């Protein structure tokens, strides 16, 4: 029996923290479906398609890239999990404030779909301060992103903010 997990997020942008969580998850699951959430109520730096491409390009160098599928979704995550026959949601937790939010989401998901569990993973402690907000702020000012995001994402961010 194949063990598959959904790893959802907006991933705007995909960071080294996200990559670290994924690298931990591939040791635990046979397959990970990275699900790029598209929320039309939020203004994103990258389109859903661009985020998918950035994630795919950032994992090409790893021998586990065959284990990872990257897709876009809108709607309730549990509906996607059921459609894909997945019973595990994977969430990264960097700090207590993340846990509080993620815990509430996990309980709501459990109420809606008791057959679907949530697994929390922590990134390497050196990556716990990285957030999309911090990364975007550094990018706006042309700062060095090399320790925050994969190289392809840093290049894409600099290109986006040079145009503005």
pLDDT digits (tens, 9 = 90+) for 24-80: 999 999 999 999 998 777 789 999 999 999 999 999 999 887 899 999 999 999 999
How many C-beta atoms surround the C-beta of residue 83 within 10 A? 10
pLDDT for residue 142 is more than 80: yes
| Domain 4-128 classification at class level | alpha beta
| pTM, 2 dp | 0.92
Domain boundaries defined on the chain:
4-128
Residue 1 is predicted with a pLDDT of: 65
Axis crossing angle, helix 48-59 with helix 16-25, rounded to the nearest 10 = 60
DSSP letter assigned to residue 84: T
DSSP letter assigned to residue 45: S
pLDDT for residue 108 is more than 70: yes
pLDDT for residue 101 is more than 90: no
Name the strands in the sheet holding 88-92, side by side, starting at the edge strand that comes first in the sequence: 68-73, 31-37, 4-9, 88-92, 117-121
Residue 2 is predicted with a pLDDT of: 81
Residues 156, 50: contact at Cβ < 8 Å? yes
């Amino acid at each position: 029996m194949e063990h598959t997990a959904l790893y959802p997020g907006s991933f705007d942008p995909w960071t080294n923290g996200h990559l670290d969580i994924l690298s931990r998850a591939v040791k635990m699951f046979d397959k990970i479906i990275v699900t790029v959430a598209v929320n039309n109520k939020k203004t994103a730096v990258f389109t859903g398609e661009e985020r998918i491409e950035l994630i795919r390009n950032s994992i090409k160098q790893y021998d586990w890239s065959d284990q990872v599928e990257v897709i876009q979704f809108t709607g309730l995550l549990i509906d996607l999990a059921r459609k894909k026959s997945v019973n595990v949601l994977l969430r990264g937790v960097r700090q207590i404030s993340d846990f509080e939010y993620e815990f509430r989401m996990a309980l709501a998901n459990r109420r809606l779909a008791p057959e679907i569990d949530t697994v929390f993973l922590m990134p390497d402690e050196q990556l716990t301060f990285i957030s999309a907000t911090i990364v975007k702020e550094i990018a706006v000012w042309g700062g060095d992103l090399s320790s925050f995001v994969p190289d392809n994402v840093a290049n894409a961010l600099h290109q986006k903010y040079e145009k503005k």
